[in-house]
Structure 1
Amino acid sequence: MKSRLLILILMICAVSLKAQTDEKQQIDQLLDAWHLAASNADFDGYFSRMTDDGVFLGTDATENWQNNEFRAFSKPYFDRGKAWSFTAVERNIYINESMDFAWFDELLDTQMKLCRGSGTLKKENGQWKIAHYVLSIAVPNENVSELIELKKEKDSLLLLQLSKQ
């Protein structure tokens, strides 16, 4: 009796692990296709992989794009035939137990050199969609002081403006 129970538990664990692996592969393929759509200036292919209420946070402190705003901002880049080109060189994907919500981080090779992307995905009608994406420029720790000096004036003005809101 105990051996049957143990076998049943092991089979359930194996099935669950396979399902998680399959979901992670789907997410990995979705993210690669999303980045490729931008490189190929495929506007519909790019935005069809995001939720209707998706958010994109860019590298500039003022870039907090809700989906419709991000579409309007991005359209001229896509219309010119090339938006941006990001290629993941490392990616970690995590999925909740009910397998309807996921989060990830990725290291990207971009025209800005190394960047970090991270975000969340949710399942809508059985399909994974990007709900929130954050892009940041990877700065080596030994260069942070230089970067702070470079952006100090603009950041100070923005902080002053934000404190008055």
Structure 2
Amino acid sequence: MKRLLLACSLLLCALVAQADPGLKKQVNAFVDRWHDDAAHARMAYFDKIAKDGVYIGTDKTEHWRRDAFKAWARPYFKRKKAWAFKAQRRNVYSSEDGSMIWFDELLDTQMGVCQASGVMRRKGSSFEIVHYQLSMAVPNEVGRQVTRLIRDFEEKDGWKGRPR
């Protein structure tokens, strides 16, 4: 009985956190435009990240504050396109008042399927991304091989992989 009550409580909490359909539509449009800005190398991409925002990439050294990320990415944005992420699925959640939003997404990318999660806050009539973390989706069946490749790479030539 206790397990049933706990499961029902957790389900109720999850339902309460789900963003209302109107907010979810706004968030999806905002994040899709953000991804499209990168795909077309539009500098507006960085305007959608909060000044104090953080972007965590797939490499363990990629932990960026917005302006450092912008400086690093500048060569990519000088081309006609930077990187292209297209959401296959996105789950959107929000605080009760809709001022804080968090989401997770499954993405088609040039690296294959990736996963990401983000946190946004309202900024006037729009939003800004305060935290975004991208990760490569590694199937469990090849996890040991990938782990071995990473270990071998890091041991090679004394690579330290120091965070930036």
Task: Please give the TM-score of this superposition, normalised by the length of structure 2.
Answer: 0.81
Name the counterpart of 1:21: 21
| 1:97-123, Cα deviation, whole Å (9 max, x unpaired) | 011001100000000010001110001
Which residue is 1:15 aligned to? none
Residue type of the alignment partner of 1:24: K
**Cα distance, 1:154 vs structure 2:** 4.4
Render the CA deviation track for 1:110-148: whole Å, top value 9, x for unaligned: 000100011100012232111110000000000000000
Aligned counterpart, 1:41: 41
Supply the RMSD in Å over aligned alpha carbons.
1.9
More helix by share: 1
Larger Rg: 1
1:52-111 Cα shifts (integer Å, max 9, x gaps): 111110000000010110000111101011100000001100011011001100000000
Q: Which residue of 2 aligns with 1:86?
A: 85
Which residue in 2 is equivalent to 1:112?
111
Q: Which has the higher contact order (CA 8 A, sep 6+)?
A: 2
Aligned residues: 143
In 2, the alpha carbon distance for the partners of 1:80 and 1:49 equals 20
User: Does residue 144 in structure 1 map to residue 143 in structure 2?
Assistant: yes
TM-score, normalisation: structure 1: 0.81
- Could you list the runs of 5+ residues in structure 2 that have no partner in the other structure? 1-18
Which of structure 1's runs of 4+ aligned residues deviate more than 6 A?
A: none
One-letter code of the match for 1:74?
A: A
In the aligned structure 2, how far is the partner of 1:60 from the partner of 1:66? 15
